[in-house]
Amino acid sequence: MDIKQEILELRKIIEEHNYNYYVLDNPTVSDFEYDALMQKLIKLEETNPELADENSPTKRVGGAVLSEFEQVQHLVPMQSLGDVFSYDELMEFDQRVRQGLNGEAPEYVVEMKIDGLSVSLEYENGSFVRGSTRGDGMVGEDITENLKTIKAIPLKIDTKTERLEVRGEVYMPKKSFEELNAEREVSGEPLLANPRNAAAGSLRQLDSRIAAKRKLDIFVFNIQDAPADFAKTHSEGLEKLRSLGFKVSPKRCVVDSMEKAYLEILKIGEERQNLLFDIDGAVVKVDSLEKRERLGTTSKVPKWAIAYKFPAEQKETTLEDIIVQVGRTGVITPNAVLTPVRVAGSVVSRATLHNEDFIKAKDIRIGDRVLIQKAGDIIPEVVSVLKEKRTGDEKVYHMPTHCPACGEELFREDGEAALRCLSTNCPAQRLRSIIHFASRGAMDIEGLGDAVVEQLIDENLIKNSADLFYLKKEQLVPLERFAEKSAQNLIDAIEKAKSNPLDKLLCGLGIRLIGARGAKAIASHFENIDNIMAASVEDILAIPDIGEKMAESLVHYFAQGETRELIEKMKAAGVNMTAEKTAVGGVLEGKTFVLTGTLPTLKRSEAQKIIEDNGGKVSGSVSKKTDFVVAGEEAGSKLDKAMDLGVAVITEEDLLGMV
């Protein structure tokens, strides 16, 4: 056998093993035997570079390092699905489908709704040529190199079809997620929130070797583009894809009525906790592709499919203790310490209890059995106390009277639920204040994370945010976590932050009630820090969208001697104290925009800057005065409100086209 034939044969054998292991979950060789075959192929390809192939299984280990992801214009839009939450809403969808089909009764396919990241896979003449993210549905990002590392994705398929595009959901299995977080905990890295975020973050790594280590998987659930004779129904199409080597939607079934579809959905809900991957619902689709064509789509969703979302998952656990945290503005927040329990894809051991009134209203006691859930499947919260399970050993909790960080007496202002520490020397406030100052939404000092700030305070190198601008490289090099290069990188990042516009500084100061948008308006109006410090409440109230409490908070903050010393110290260090010049007469002048969802290439802050640099205004809520809503992936209630009010909805591409 010649070298070329040997290489081709090895590739074929390895891909068969990949299919058996990653698609069929039925390995036919040991890991040792598989690794030996792979090493043999790697050596043959290295010594015979003229026989290289972009779709060789050796490419699955990663290696390509990109500077950025290129944009991909989807030939077939990757639409999102409408959501329903009840049997009645399912039946309403069924009625709409029947009306659209002039009374014909459709067959439906019911599938699990995998909780991951939607991607497109494109094949030309049987070879995998490109993979991309959904983005805003029209434009995504090219993540081909990262997708090649997922061994369940076939790099070659045995078909004469000239072009085939399929859609799938990339996910991280629960076990892989737990292993990844265990590794991150050992190395001191922050833990990832849930498998979905972990999968999304892995696919957006510019270095494909990182994605290769993350043990991602995929289920293909739709044919986006194929010849007309490829399949007549969705279920037939999935079976054909399965025969070509794709890992397709698990445990799907075809039913002849919505009542039967609902029973299948209930079965999926019962199996949810025992699955090896996360799901957040079930999907019901019209099976006939011809009927789908007749039903069509809206600008946002197909009329032939709907997602049934399961109610927020609730779990019972024990509230072991209540601890308080001192925030950067002095607010004392009680938090529940829970017996760890897995909820909605991640292990929860803490939940906020908001304030004293919340604890009293729910009669929460230490030792209680409680029900918890994640608000919006994100933030852990205590839903209720299972009082019938009390044993009598539970303890009533009383909020502290003095700050746990500095010992000063705590105060509760009239009309507020929050308990506060008013001490200006509170170490907990100082720590969180500096962390906020360096954060991305404020001064954006890269490399200055929570642990580094805490370390600098412990080493007595900084006492406040102004001290950051006086740090020297030689002070950092001897510290743990630092070396020559990392120390210089942090000094450079701090130096770069000095030139930030005034609104970033204002936001970073952490003035109560003054967020990023308020800081932008104030900086633009007063132009420099001295004008702001000299302003009265009445002067500040002249700014649109600035209320009385915000104005009073600003005046109170700058009246403090400690604040003025801080500002003078920053001035002396060369920190910019003037506002960025706003665009006058820009192409977006007089237009109000609202941003919602995840944009394909721009961060929210970058899109806002583009709008404001061109004379436009960005608002946080949709109203009749809104001119445009810029919608990205997973746009939520703001998009719905825009549709209701008839506000124009545009994509990131539309926005960039305007400017």
Of 497, 515, 537, the residue that ends a domain is 497
- Same-domain check for residues 261 and 366: no
Question: What pLDDT, on the 0 to 100 scale, is given for residue 66?
Answer: 63
Q: Which two tokens stand for residue 238?
A: 């999935």
Residue 16 lies in a domain: yes
Which residues does 302 contact at the CB level (< 8 Å), separation at least 6? 79, 81, 292, 295, 296
Tell me the β-bridge partners of 297: 302
Residue 416 lies in a domain: no
CATH, residue 96: 3.30.470.30
- Same-domain check for residues 213 and 356: no
For 17, list phi and psi in degrees, rounded to 5: -65, -40
Q: Hunting for tokens 């991607």 — which residue is that?
A: 119
- Same-domain check for residues 547 and 491: no
Question: What pLDDT, on the 0 to 100 scale, is given for residue 195?
Answer: 84
User: Do residues 515 and 474 touch, judged by C-beta distance below 8 A?
Assistant: no
- Same-domain check for residues 339 and 454: no
CATH, residue 45: 1.10.287.610
Residue 582 lies in a domain: no
- Same-domain check for residues 228 and 341: no
Residue 66 lies in a domain: no
Rounded to whole angstroms, the Cα distance separating 407 from 246 reads 62
For 319, list phi and psi in degrees, rounded to 5: -85, 100
- Same-domain check for residues 49 and 120: no
Q: Which of 131-159 are b and which e, b meaning 16 or more Cβ less than 10 Å from the residue's Cβ?
A: bbbbbbbbbbbbbbbbbbbbbbbbbbbeb
Q: Which residue has the higher pLDDT, 212 or 235?
A: 235
Candidate list 113, 151, 285, 617, residue with the active-site label = 113
Rounded to whole angstroms, the Cα distance separating 612 from 631 reads 17
Could you tell me the CA-to-CA distances from 597 to 226, 504, 639 in Å, in that order? Answer: 30, 23, 9
Q: Which residue has the higher pLDDT, 54 or 174?
A: 174
pLDDT one-digit tens code per residue, 175-213: 898 888 888 777 666 677 678 888 888 888 888 888 888
Of 468, 497, 526, the residue that ends a domain is 497
Q: Is the model's pLDDT at 597 over the cut of 60?
A: yes
Of 254, 287, 309, the residue that ends a domain is 309
- Same-domain check for residues 112 and 186: yes
Q: Answer yes or no: 247 catalytic.
A: no
Q: Which residue has the higher pLDDT, 413 or 326?
A: 326
- Same-domain check for residues 289 and 149: yes
Please report which confidence band the pLDDT of residue 274 belongs to, taking 50, 70 and 90 as the band edges: confident
Residue 24 lies in a domain: yes
Residue 421 lies in a domain: no
Please report which confidence band the pLDDT of residue 167 belongs to, taking 50, 70 and 90 as the band edges: very high
| 384: containing domain | 315-397
Rounded to whole angstroms, the Cα distance separating 276 from 116 reads 13
Q: Which two tokens stand for residue 597?
A: 């969802």
| Centroid of chain to Cα 640 | 20
CATH, residue 512: 1.10.150.20
Helix (H) or strand (E) holding 443: none
Average pLDDT score over residue span 344-371: 89
Average pLDDT score over residue span 404-427: 84
Best CA proximity match to 332, nearest among 464, 426, 440, 455: 426
Average pLDDT score over residue span 206-226: 90
- Same-domain check for residues 201 and 146: yes
Best CA proximity match to 377, nearest among 281, 305, 283, 250: 281
Residues of the chain above pLDDT 70, percent: 94
**Dihedral angle over CA of 42, 48, 50, 55, nearest 10:** -20
Q: Residue 478: how many CA atoms within 13 Å on its side-chain side?
A: 5
pTM of the model: 0.55
- Same-domain check for residues 508 and 493: no
Q: Which two tokens stand for residue 328?
A: 């950067």
- Same-domain check for residues 492 and 507: no
Report how many domains make up the chain.
6
Q: Which two tokens stand for residue 521?
A: 């308006």
Residue 580 lies in a domain: no
Q: Is the model's pLDDT at 416 over the cut of 70?
A: yes
Which parts of 34-126 are beta strand (E)?
71-73, 83-84, 108-114, 117-124
Which residues does 334 contact at the CB level (< 8 Å), separation at least 6? 322, 323, 324, 352, 353, 354, 355, 356, 359, 397, 399
- Same-domain check for residues 272 and 160: yes
CATH, residue 623: 3.40.50.10190
Residue 528 lies in a domain: yes
Average pLDDT score over residue span 469-473: 96
Could you tell me the CA-to-CA distances from 428 to 147, 328, 431, 461, 562 in Å, in that order? Answer: 44, 7, 5, 16, 17
